[in-house]
Amino acid sequence: MYRRIKKILCAASLIIVGCVTVNAQDDSIRVVEEVEEQTLDSVVVTEQKKRPSLPLRIMSSVENFFMGCDTTYVTPQKYNLTAQMELSYWHDYYFLRSSQTSNTMVIQSDPSVILGGYIYYSILGYGAVWNLNDLGIKAGKTNGTSLRQSFVIHTAKIFAEYYTFNSGKGAEIRSVSGIETKGRNRAFHGLDSRCNGFNAMYMFNNRHFSWPAAFGANAVQRKSCGSWSVGFQYNHQRITFNKEELPDYIKEDIDSTLLFTKVNYNDYSVSVGYNYNCVLGRNVLFAISFIPSIGYRRSNITEAEDLRRSILNNVSTDFNLRMSFFWNNTRMFSGLIFEAHTYDYRKDKFGLTNTYGTLKYLLGVNFWKKTHR
């Protein structure tokens, strides 16, 4: 009897253990399945969160193509929008010379104080500045620089700009061959220069050298570096000269071969230059760019006697010089930019060199931090 009870108890124990084991296995399988489902759900949610929208992906790809860089050398722009204020000082010089008599005349435009600014979205920018000297002055007596505009593309690989401005109406006769001007009336309102053009440059060492860090302020150079560049420029300028606005004593005695009514030219040129960014300290940069150019200039001149002759068709040799000093902590920036441009045209009887320079103070703030980086 005892043995029979013992066998029954053993059989019951085996059945209970088997049931518990089966239930435990079912529970384990169920737990594993739930964990796998939760993991898959979390992966899907994570992918959905990490994957930006199509427009942002396209913009990021385009920006990476143009602004991709070695981040040990350059910190790229971290924001989508940039607001930039500009306060600048503009100056123009005109040097006229006669190949027949060797006489010369030098005209200097009135210095212009300019206030305005730029707005950038990513690599695209638009700028507009106004001449403060024009305030309260009658039309026709200003130096014609009421509005200067430019449309720019600032990237690590390519810099491109379209610009338009006027200058020259308010000017001063600095010197005239054979005529004493010191201490006499030298004011001249008969010079008007209207200029528009386009220029583009490609930077060869664009992974390490940042043009925007030097002149666009939408990146920060971390290590000193330079780059050769190649570019193309188109410049159209129309300069008119009204002899009747000259002071009487100059009008009576001036060499007539120095006079013209209008110079109108289109200039096409290519350039090869060198650019260098020198990092002076954390967030502090000094940059210099020297870009000479050579090209073809299609020009004509209308002389005072209204005889139109194409005497300025010539190979052109010009140069652009830029220097900057910037502080930039990626959120805010401030700095100075100096630019000088010289255009020289000469042929047969007459020559004219037009040089203009500007000193700019820039102050900017970046907004709307990028989230797809």
pLDDT confidence tier of residue 348, bands split at 50, 70 and 90: low
Q: What is the DSSP string of 172-212?
A: EEEEETTB--TTS--EE--EEEEEEEEEEEEETTTTT--HI
Angle among Cα 132, 137, 142 to the nearest 5 degrees reads 75
Is the pLDDT assigned to residue 114 strictly greater than 60? yes
Mean pLDDT of 65-88: 83
Model confidence at 3, pLDDT cuts 50, 70, 90, reads low
Which one has a higher pLDDT value, 45 or 331? 331
- Quick one: average pLDDT of 215-219? 79
Average pLDDT over residues 237-257: 80
Q: Are 195 and 169 in contact (CB under 8 A)?
A: no
- Sequence spans of domains, the chain: 1-51, 70-369
pLDDT of residue 85: 92
Asked if residue 316 lies in contact with residue 269, where contact means CB atoms within 8 angstroms, the answer is: yes
In whole angstroms, what separates CA 109 from the centre of its chain? 25
Flag whether pLDDT at 202 surpasses 90.
Answer: yes
256: phi then psi, degrees, rounded to nearest 5: -65, -20
pLDDT at 200 over 80: yes
Per-residue pLDDT at 346 exceeds 50 = yes
Residue 35 is predicted with a pLDDT of 47
Is the pLDDT score of 244 beyond 60?
A: yes
Mean per-residue pLDDT, 135-140: 59
Name which residue leads in pLDDT, 59 or 371: 371
Q: Which pLDDT does position 87 carry in this prediction?
A: 92
User: Which pLDDT value is given to residue 305?
Assistant: 47
Looking at the chain, the number of H-run helices and the number of E-run strands are 4, 18
Residue 45: the pLDDT is 45
Alpha-carbon distance values, 143 to 90, 100, 132, 147, 158 (Å): 11, 31, 11, 11, 33
Tell me the per-residue pLDDT of 14-57, one tens digit each, with 9 for 90 and over.
Answer: 554 454 454 545 555 554 455 455 555 554 444 445 666 666 66
Quick: pLDDT tens for 172-183: 888 888 788 787
Quote the CA–CA distance of 168 and 357 in Å, as a whole number: 13
So what's the architecture of 70-369 in CATH? Beta Barrel (2.40)
Higher pLDDT: 285 or 123? It is: 285
Residue 347 pLDDT > 70: no
Sequence letter at residue 2: Y
pLDDT at 307: 46
Give first-to-last CA distance, the chain, whole Å: 82
The closest of 164, 138, 134, 141 to 151, measured between CA atoms, is: 164
Average pLDDT over residues 244-271: 80
Higher pLDDT, 111 or 167: 111
Under the banding of pLDDT at 50, 70 and 90, the label for residue 204 is very high
% of the chain surpassing 70 pLDDT: 71
